[in-house]
Amino acid sequence: MKIRSIVIFGWVLLLLNFKLNAQQKLISETDSIAIFDTYISLNSSENISPIIFNDGLIYASANKSNYYKLFFSDLKSKSKKIKISSKYNSGLVAVYKDEIYFTGNSKYSVSESIINLVIYKGIIENFKVKNVAPLSICEEGSSYNNPAISRGGKQMAVVTNENGMVHLLELTLDSENKWKRSTIVFIAQANFNIINPTFYNENTIYFSSNMIKGEIDIDSVNYTIKDGEPIITDVFYKTDVYNIYKIVREDGRWQLPIKASIFNSEFDDFGVVFKTEKSGFINTFRYDNTDNIYYFELK
């Protein structure tokens, strides 16, 4: 009995230590969700776009810097910088096994002031990205960014402005293991952004957007006068803080997104990534006047 008690006590300590590594300090709690500090939020600021990688997170950070760089954190010790060329934009990346997908400038950019973006694929090895090449689905004259990949590695979501409309596009792998267009998940109204999509499962995607219910900003309507009558040339919609949305596919069709209220606040909330069915990490501005990454548990 004594030996068994020691073994059980040891397991309790191990589980407690694991929990404390994942969640350092409870900082917010409701009847639905508890949010905890992480090693990242306690030790740095300006951290965005986390994704699960091995036993930790890959994320982008402008901590003590003027631009974002990629890092890996095991959530227990100092983060390691991921070596990647500075010509690529270090925002949201997608990783499946040793494949990494990320955003970079396109050689087909319209002008010096209008830069198109493309999704690149590389191999990540010992925290260094190599063998980089653009995805063939990226078309000249359009931008592609914010890649997300499903747990099974067969689906990808990217944000693009193809055909002049910002939308979330789903890609799937074909029989030759190449990415091809599948379906349009959601089209945003003009002037709204879509950022940080993540797959919860093959039929559920979370993303963040500053969209609001189609209200026109009267002070920002541009017009010209023709034959004494005003002709509207540009319409801008009121924008909101960034909120997290959930969109679900039912009977083979993506439905309209709904606010994932459980994750949102009066501040910018940039996205969530799930580690288990009821836990994961949230990227928000709501604490300490900085973007940061926190651990959450749903109740």
CATH code for position 63: 2.115.10
Evaluate if residue 228 carries a pLDDT over 80: no
pLDDT at residue 188 greater than cutoff 70 = yes
In a domain, 216, yes or no: yes
Determine what percent of the chain is predicted with pLDDT higher than 70: 81
Higher-scoring residue by pLDDT: 8, 110: 110
User: Residue 19: inside a domain, yes or no?
Assistant: no
Q: Is residue 195 part of a domain?
A: yes
The DSSP string of the chain is: -HHHHHHHHHHHHHHHHHHHHH---EEEE-SSEEEE--HHHHH--SEEEEEEETTEEEEEE-TTSSS-EEEEE-SSS--EE-B--TTEEEEEEEEETTEEEEEEE-TT-SSSSS--EEEEEEEEETTEEEEEEE-TTPPTT--EEEEEE-TTSSEEEEEE-GGG--EEEEEEE-TTS-EEEEEEEEEPPTT--EEEEEEEETTEEEEEE---SS-B-GGG-EEEEETTEEEEEE--B-----EEEEEEEETTEE---EE-GGG--SS-EEEEEEEETTEEEEEESSSTTS-EEEEEEE-
Q: What is the pLDDT of residue 39?
A: 97
Residue 87 within a domain: yes
pLDDT greater than 70 at residue 4? no
- Which is nearest to 201 in space by CA: 154, 165, 132? 154
Give the model's pLDDT for residue 259. Answer: 94
User: What would the pLDDT profile of 57-81 be if each residue is shown by its tens digit?
Assistant: 999 999 999 889 999 999 999 999 9
Residue 273 in domain: yes
3-state SS, one letter per residue, for 204-245: EEEEEECCCCCCECHHHCEEEEECCEEEEEECCECCCCCEEE
pLDDT band for 192, please (50, 70, 90 cuts): confident
Q: Is 9 inside a domain boundary?
A: no
* pLDDT the model gives residue 107: 72
Domain assignment present for residue 172? The answer is: yes
Task: In whole angstroms, give the CA distance from residue 208 to residue 197.
Answer: 7
Mind listing the pLDDT tens digit for each residue in 143-184? 999 999 999 999 999 999 999 899 999 999 999 999 999 999
At 97, is the secondary structure helix, strand, or coil?
coil
Mean pLDDT over residues 4-29, rounded?
A: 56
In a domain, 3, yes or no: no
Distance, CA of 207 to CA of 184 (rounded, Å): 14
| pTM of this structure | 0.84
Q: Structural domain tally of the chain?
A: 1
Predicted confidence band at 231 (pLDDT cuts at 50, 70, 90)?
low
Residue-range definition of the domain harbouring residue 139: 28-298
State the pLDDT at residue 17: 47
Q: Is the pLDDT of residue 88 over 70?
A: yes
